[in-house]
């Protein structure tokens, strides 16, 4: 069995010092860091949040994206990078950075540990009374696809509906479950027996 090839990475951080440090870390792990347009994963920072159209253009032909910076990325990445993404703080450890790159390249979504804990705590917070939560069949389908890690775009393809319809159902699920994130919705859905994992 031949080894699985490691993804190539393009570092598009606005800080030259940070970009050089990240590139050096990735090379130390054996990844190929390229300056060209052809890369499996693009690494960006908060500077790209101001211009999502430019970021979308940068992502053309890229399998995934790793965003280093603020929590604001978590909501944006679902739409910007449906094929895989990671949202990490600028203080991410080298191992977290590598895990984020590999997850994004594999089509998965990755969050830093504190973000996962926040989602878990959000699900533990009683919020609106979960008793008697009733989801429509389509909302249950969307919740199941969220649990499977699908982006809005991929969920729309799976269900044969528009991406805006999926976004509408995602927001309805959040509202009914009293959460504000995908991880919170999945955790609350499991707790209420709406989905099984």
Ranges of each domain in the chain: 8-111, 116-191
CATH topology match: 8-111 vs 116-191: no
CA 55 to chain centre: 15
**How do the pLDDT tens digits run along the chain, 197 residues long?**
556 678 899 998 888 998 999 999 999 999 999 987 688 888 988 887 777 777 777 777 777 888 888 766 666 666 666 678 888 887 888 888 998 898 888 888 787 665 654 444 444 444 444 456 788 888 888 888 888 888 888 888 888 988 888 888 888 888 888 888 888 888 888 877 787 65
What kind of fold does domain 8-111 have according to CATH?
Answer: Rossmann fold (3.40.50)
* φ/ψ (deg, to 5) at 68: -105, 120
Query: What count of residues does the chain have?
Result: 197
Look at residue 120 in the predicted model and tell me its pLDDT: 46
The set of residues, in sequence order, having a beta carbon less than 8 Å from that of 37 and lying 6+ positions away, is: 10, 61
The token pair that represents 84 in the structure block = 């895989």
CA distance 134 to 150: 22
Q: Is the dihedral of CA 172, 54, 18, 151 positive or negative?
A: positive
With both helix axes pointing from N to C terminus, report the angle between 182-191 and 113-124 in degrees, rounded to the nearest 10. Answer: 50
Region of residue 42 (phi > 0: left; psi between -120 and 50: alpha; otherwise: beta): beta
pLDDT of residue 24: 94
What pLDDT does 131 receive?
A: 56
Per-residue burial over 79-103, b if 16 or more Cβ lie within 10 Å, else e, is: ebbbbbbbbbbeebeeebbbbbbbb
Under CATH, what is the fold of the domain 116-191?
A: Arc Repressor Mutant, subunit A (1.10.10)
């Amino acid at each position: 069995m031949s080894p699985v090839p490691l993804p190539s990475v393009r570092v598009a951080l606005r800080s030259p010092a940070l970009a050089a440090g990240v590139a050096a870390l990735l090379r130390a792990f054996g990844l190929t860091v390229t300056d060209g347009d052809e890369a499996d994963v693009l690494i960006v920072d908060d500077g790209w949040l101001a211009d999502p159209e430019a970021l979308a253009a940068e992502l053309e032909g890229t399998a995934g994206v790793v965003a280093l910076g603020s929590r604001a990325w978590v909501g944006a990445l679902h739409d910007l990078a449906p094929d895989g993404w990671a949202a990490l703080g600028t203080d991410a450890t080298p191992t977290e950075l590598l895990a984020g790159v590999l997850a994004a390249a594999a089509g998965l979504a990755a969050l830093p540990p504190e973000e996962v804990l926040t989602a878990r705590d959000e699900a533990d917070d009683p919020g609106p009374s979960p008793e008697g939560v009733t989801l429509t069949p389509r909302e249950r389908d969307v919740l199941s696809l969220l649990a499977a890690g699908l982006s809005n775009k991929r969920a729309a393809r799976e269900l044969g509906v528009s991406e805006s319809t999926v976004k509408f159902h995602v927001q309805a699920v959040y509202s009914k479950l009293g959460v504000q994130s995908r991880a919170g919705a999945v955790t609350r859905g499991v707790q209420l027996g709406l989905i099984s994992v």
